[in-house]
Amino acid sequence: MNLGDKKPEKRPLYVYYIIVGVIIILLNLLVVPSLQERSVKKTDYSTFLSCVKRGTVTEATVDDDYIYYIARVDGVDTMCKTVRMDDPNLVERLEEAGVRMESPEPDTQSIFLSLLFSYLVPILIFVFLGRWLSKKMMSSMGNGGPGGMMSFGKSNAKVYVKSSTGIKFSDVAGEDEAKELLTEIVDYLHNPHKYAEIGASMPKGALLVGPPGTGKTLLAKAVAGEAEVPFFSISGSEFVEMFVGMGAAKVRDLFKQANEKAPCIVFIDEIDTIGKKRDGAGFTGGNDEREQTLNQLLTEMDGFDGSKGVVILAATNRPDSLDPALLRPGRFDRRIPVELPDLQGREEILRVHAKKIKISDSVRFDEIAKAASGASGAELANIVNEAALRAVRDGRKFATQADFEESIEVVIAGYQKKNRVLSNKEKLIVSYHEIGHALVAAKQTDSAPVHKITIIPRTSGALGYTMQVDEKEHFLMSKEELENKIATFTGGRAAEELIFHSITTGASNDIEQATKLARAMISRYGMSDEFDMVAMENISNQYLGGDSSLACSFETQTLLDKKVVELVRRQHEKALQILKDNIGKLHELAKYLYEHETITGEEFMKILEEPLPAVETAQAEDEV
Ligand code: ADP
Ligand code: MG
Ligand code: ZN
């Protein structure tokens, strides 16, 4: 990642082309004429001899292969040459004829030139090329850092201070949860003594997790902009080096620098490149280099003193592929989810980006946000830019609503194919499903069942999401509570059945959970009349997820299965009845969720406790 860094200006490639071109032209100018024989008449040896005899030859130059001579015919000098024969009397003959003999003086020049061009110039070219290549290599490896070859193993993380990024939290729209968590880190870096007084130390690392384009990198830049401390930024892929061991050396160097500059922030973007799960000795022998780099990173994170004020931020869109060791306490133990924006978030992001372009007053951001359901921050930024481009293309001075609408189609067409966006029908089903869960839960306990429900598809792949928070931690759960829980699990499917008279695959996870719970109630918790306090299943490997093994006869097992089905069915019917009794609220809440895409626990309770307006119920029922 480059946070507005100023790279040393590189000479553009064409400069080298020009230099090479000039050399070629020079060669042409110098070499070609000297090699070109001046117009020389070729004669045979006997002609030469007869000329000598007749005394017309005035001058002769003899070299190893040729004899060059000037023959004067009718007062006109002609340069001639002939092949030199093995003639021992040649010199005598020439002397007799009074020919002026010359040492091959012009040849010294040509020998010099040919020496020059056959040895010196190629050497020069190679030296020049070599230097250029090595310079290029060094700059690509050492990022042009001073020291060239010597800078191998330097982290070349870029250091940024506040002024250089200029990005603030206000530039990141939506993502309030992420901003809140990061604000604490910024505050810690500003007033470390405040925390030190109480003895609190910040988590060493925080991991920004979310789909691509949701603003993870942007958030990290904003932290850099807000916290007035040095900010080291490096991308995971920059650790992957040409030479074995260099990645680890870079990590070492990065942390050495960070320790010197503390308090500071180290940001590792795309950490999954180095932080992938180590797979022992896989059958390719594993990627030793990457593993070494990861090990070094783990060692460094353990090694430094958290109270010194070095905070490590990292970003990834593949948290599930990360090595579990990275997520252990004391490392990236704080996870900051950066999810796709909801309706309101999308509108805010559009507004942030629209500030940079000229728009007409009639643009309705809420409409655009609604149409761009499922778009990430990066895609919304793209939509705004695309709209501006459209306006320019049409020769207008500002972007209009129509520009935005058309650019949505261009930008969204790409990712709707990827099936990430719910159709309106699906959105409606998911809304009812999630409200079904929540309503069943609320009606059984008379309290806010949820912290937040959203129908924005999640990184986990779930279409909707109900964030349940128990008011107090439960260690003991009564049979009724467990039954209520099962009823809540079935509530989603029950709502679908009730409203759409058909069922979808959306409940697969609910089914799994309800089954597990019902089975445990009967086989392990002794919560059925038939089996009393007899364990039907043994759980081994408690800490590794728990493998269960049946500890009963085949007949009992069949009965157990039957009991599980009965238990779930009873709760399912209960859930259906609850929803039937509250169908007005179900419509109202589902409609709210469908429109807003997110509903908080308070909003949920507020709507639930309001008296139902009679007219609206009828309307809502008509709609479905
Ligand atoms: P990520 O690192 O999560 O893949 P980036 O931080 O690189 O995503 O986001 C790419 C671009 O998308 C940003 O430069 C910004 O223009 C835009 N963007 C994404 N999320 C937001 C947001 N919440 N607010 C404003 N702009 C955003
Ligand atoms: Mg990024
Ligand atoms: Zn569900």
pLDDT at position 622, please? 44
Ligand 1 binding pocket includes 271 (Cβ within 6 Å): no
- Bridge partners (DSSP) listed for residue 269: 235
**CB-based contact 313:202 (threshold 8 Å):** no
Q: Quick one: average pLDDT of 134-155?
A: 52
* Least confident interval from 79-83, 138-142, 299-303, 552-556: 138-142
Name which residue leads in pLDDT, 546 or 190. 190
**pLDDT higher than 60, residue 160:** no
pLDDT at position 464, please? 54
**pLDDT higher than 50, residue 419:** no
pLDDT at position 494, please? 95
Q: Quick one: average pLDDT of 374-381?
A: 87
> How far away, in angstroms, is 217 Cα from ligand 2 center?
4
Q: Which amino acids are annotated catalytic?
A: 434
Considering every ligand atom, which ligand is closest to the CA of 514?
Answer: 3
Ligand 1 binding pocket includes 235 (Cβ within 6 Å): no
Q: Mutate which of 214, 235, 271 to test ligand 1's pocket (most atoms within 8 Å of Cβ)?
A: 214
**pLDDT higher than 90, residue 581:** yes
> What number does the ligand 1 atom closest to the CA of 341 have?
23
pLDDT at position 457, please? 64
pLDDT at position 576, please? 95
**Residue 429 corresponds to which amino acid?**
I
Ligand 1 binding pocket includes 218 (Cβ within 6 Å): yes
What burial class does residue 293 get, using C-beta atoms within 10 Å of its C-beta: 0-12 exposed, 13-18 middle, 19+ buried? Answer: buried
> How far away, in angstroms, is 382 Cα from ligand 1 center?
10
DSSP 168: -
> What number does the ligand 1 atom closest to the CA of 175 have?
23
Name which residue leads in pLDDT, 530 or 278. 530
Q: Quick one: average pLDDT of 171-192?
A: 86
Give the SS3 label for residue 377: helix
pLDDT in tens, 465-522: 555 544 444 567 788 888 998 999 999 999 999 999 988 888 888 898 899 889 888 8
Q: Quick one: average pLDDT of 526-537?
A: 79
**pLDDT higher than 90, residue 6:** no
Ligand 1 binding pocket includes 363 (Cβ within 6 Å): no
Residue nearest to atom 14 of ligand 1 (CA): 218
Q: Quick one: average pLDDT of 396-409?
A: 85
For 188, residues 6+ apart whose C-beta sits below 8 A from its C-beta are: 195, 202, 309, 311
pLDDT at position 40, please? 76
What burial class does residue 497 get, using C-beta atoms within 10 Å of its C-beta: 0-12 exposed, 13-18 middle, 19+ buried? Answer: middle
**pLDDT higher than 90, residue 331:** no
Output the six-digit token pair for 484. 């209520």
**pLDDT higher than 70, residue 583:** yes
pLDDT at position 39, please? 67
> How far away, in angstroms, is 222 Cα from ligand 1 center?
11
- What average pLDDT does the chain have? 77
> How far away, in angstroms, is 215 Cα from ligand 1 center?
3
pLDDT at position 490, please? 93
**pLDDT higher than 50, residue 309:** yes
**pLDDT higher than 90, residue 19:** no
